[in-house]
Structure 1
Amino acid sequence: MQGGEENLMTQTIDPVFSSAVLSAPELALNDLDFDALSQAMGGLKGEVDKNPQTAAIILAGGTGERFGKEGGKQLVEIAGKPILTWSAEAFDAVGDIGLIVIVCPEDRCSEYLKRAIDPFPFVTPIVVAPSGPSRQESAFSGLEFVPDDYEYVILHDGARPLISPDLIAHTIATLKGNIDCDGAVVAHPAVDTLKVVENGVIVGTPDRRVFWNAQTPQVFRAGIYRRAHASALSDGFMGTDDSSLIERLGGRVLVVEGKRDNIKLTVPEDYLMLAAAVRTMYMKGAEE
C-alpha cells in the first residue's frame, strides 16, 4: 500500500460522506482476486442445484440518509460490485431459494436492475417490488410478490452484503428441523454492558447474558408470516423487525448465532469495516 493510501485509511472519518471514505478501501482492495474470494465465501457463480421451498425478500428501499451519499448506499460498490449485488449473490447460491424479491424505491427499480442485477450471472428468478414508507410496509410489499406455494419466506437487509450462503442455508435448515417453531433469526450475543436510562440517568443494569443483537436473515413459515402481517396491518402495529410480528401472535422464533462481520452499512465508517472484513475473508480463503 502506498503511503498516501495509508494516510487515507488512518484518517478520522467524519460521519458526513466524503469521497475519501469510499475511495481508500477500494484502493486497499485493488490487489485481491475476487473470483477466488467469491468461491471462499461460498458463492457458486451461477452454478447451483435448486430444490426451492423458500422465497427471499431483500429489503433495499432505504434512503441512506445516515450514509450521507446522494442516491443511497445500495449501489455503492465494494470490490467492484454494488452492495446489493453481494447480498443477492449469497441468496442465489442457496439451493433452497427459488425466488428473490428485491424491494426498492419504485422510481429506481430499473436502475437497481441495470446496475446491480443484470450484469451478473444469477440463476434464481429475480423480481422487484416497490418499497413502502417503513421497513414493515416494504416487507409486506415484497411478500405480495411471493406465490402461495412457497413454504418459507426469508428476509434480509440489502445493506448487509457479507452474509454467506452457508449461514443462509443453516438458518433455513434450523427452522425446518424444528417443526414446533415458526421462525429463525440470525443474531449474536450482546457483549457490551447494557444500561436502562430514564431522563439521562441510569436506573438499572440488566443481565446482558439474556440479550442478543438481532440481525438478518430472518426466516419464517410463510403461513404464519402472512397472518402476522395481516394482523399488524389490522391493529396498526409497527414492529422493529419481522420477528416481532410473529412474536406478538405467540409464535416461537429460534435464534441462530451469526457472525459479527455481518455488518450493516449505515454510516460511512461502516464501509471501512466492510472493506477490512472483505480483505480478512480473502486472506483466510487464500490460506485454505
Structure 2
Amino acid sequence: MKNKHSDINTIIITNRNLNQRIDNFLNSKFKKIPKSFIYKILRKGKIKVNKKRVKPLYKLKINDEISIISSYLYNEHKTISNIKKNKVAFLNKLILYEDDYIIVINKPSGVAVHGGSGLSFGVIEGLRSLRSNCSFLELVHRLDRSTSGLLLIAKKRSALKCLHEQLRNRFIKKDYLALVHGIWPSNLKIINAPLKKQISLYSSSRSMVYVDINGKPSETYFQVKEYFRSTTLLKVRPITGHTHQIRVHAMHAGYPILFDGRYGKNSLDNQIDLGLNRLFLHAHALTFLHPKTGVMTYLEAPLDTILIKCLTNLSLNKIKI
C-alpha cells in the first residue's frame, strides 16, 4: 500500500511472514537491491516498523506496519552506484581470478568488504558497480577492513550455495600470514578458545571480541615460518571462522599481531621501526572446490609493498631457535 500524500510505501505483515527476521523479509522482497544496502538503510532508520527504528534481527509480528521511503530505497541506491564507479575502478586491477561463477581479488588493507558504519561502499558494492551487467554478486566470506588478501565472490546463486556448504563442512582452507610480537613457542600449534562478541553501546563498528567460556567454540592452527629478533612470522589457519578470530587468539596467547589497533599493544609497536603502518595480517592462500567443475582450486595472493618492505627489513635480524 502506497500513501498518496507521500513517498512512503507501507507493508502490513500477515501470518505468512510471522516471526521472519526483517532483514530476510526485505532481502526477499527487494531482490534487486543489494543486501548491504538494505542493512545500511535499516541501520539509518529509513525503514521503520510501527513508526519505530528496528534492528536487522527484529522478528516480524502479525499486523506490523513496515514503512519504506520508496524513492530513497531506489534512487539513493542508484545514485551511490553511479558515483562510485570512478572511485572503485582500482578493483579491476586486484582481480586474481575470474570466470562465469566466481571472482577472487587481493583485497588491500583499509578497504572494507561492504558498505555501512559510515562507509558509502565496500568491495562488493564496487564490483556491482563495475559489473552492472552481472545480475548476481555476493560475498562468500568476509575479511576485516584492516586485513588484506584473498576474498572470494560468487557470481551465481548456485555458486554461493555450493561455497557456503563447503564453508559449513570446513572444506575451504584459508591460510594467513601474520607477524606477531615476541618469540612464538614452536610447540604452540593450536589455540582452542571460545569467543564472544560484545557490541559497543556507541558504535557497532567498534565491537570487540573476547575469549569467554560462554562464547562460540573457536579453533585456530598456528605454524612458525620464521623467527626474527623480537617478532615471529606465522602461517595461520582458522578452523572456525568467527569475527577477529586470529587477532584475538594471537592476543590471548600473549603474542599480539603487529599494528593491530584493536587488540594489539601500541607500546610494542612503537618500539619497532619497520616502515609498517598497517595490521600485518594477510589472507595468503585459499583452497576450495570449484562450484561448477568440482576441481580442487588453489590460489595465492602476493603481499603488498608495505609488508614486503617490512619482511625485508626484518630479514637482517633472523634468528634460529
Q: TM-score under structure 1 normalisation?
A: 0.30
Q: TM-score under structure 2 normalisation?
A: 0.28
Greater fraction of residues in helix? 1
Greater fraction of residues in strand? 2
Where relative contact order (Cα < 8 A, 6+ residues apart) is larger, the structure is 1
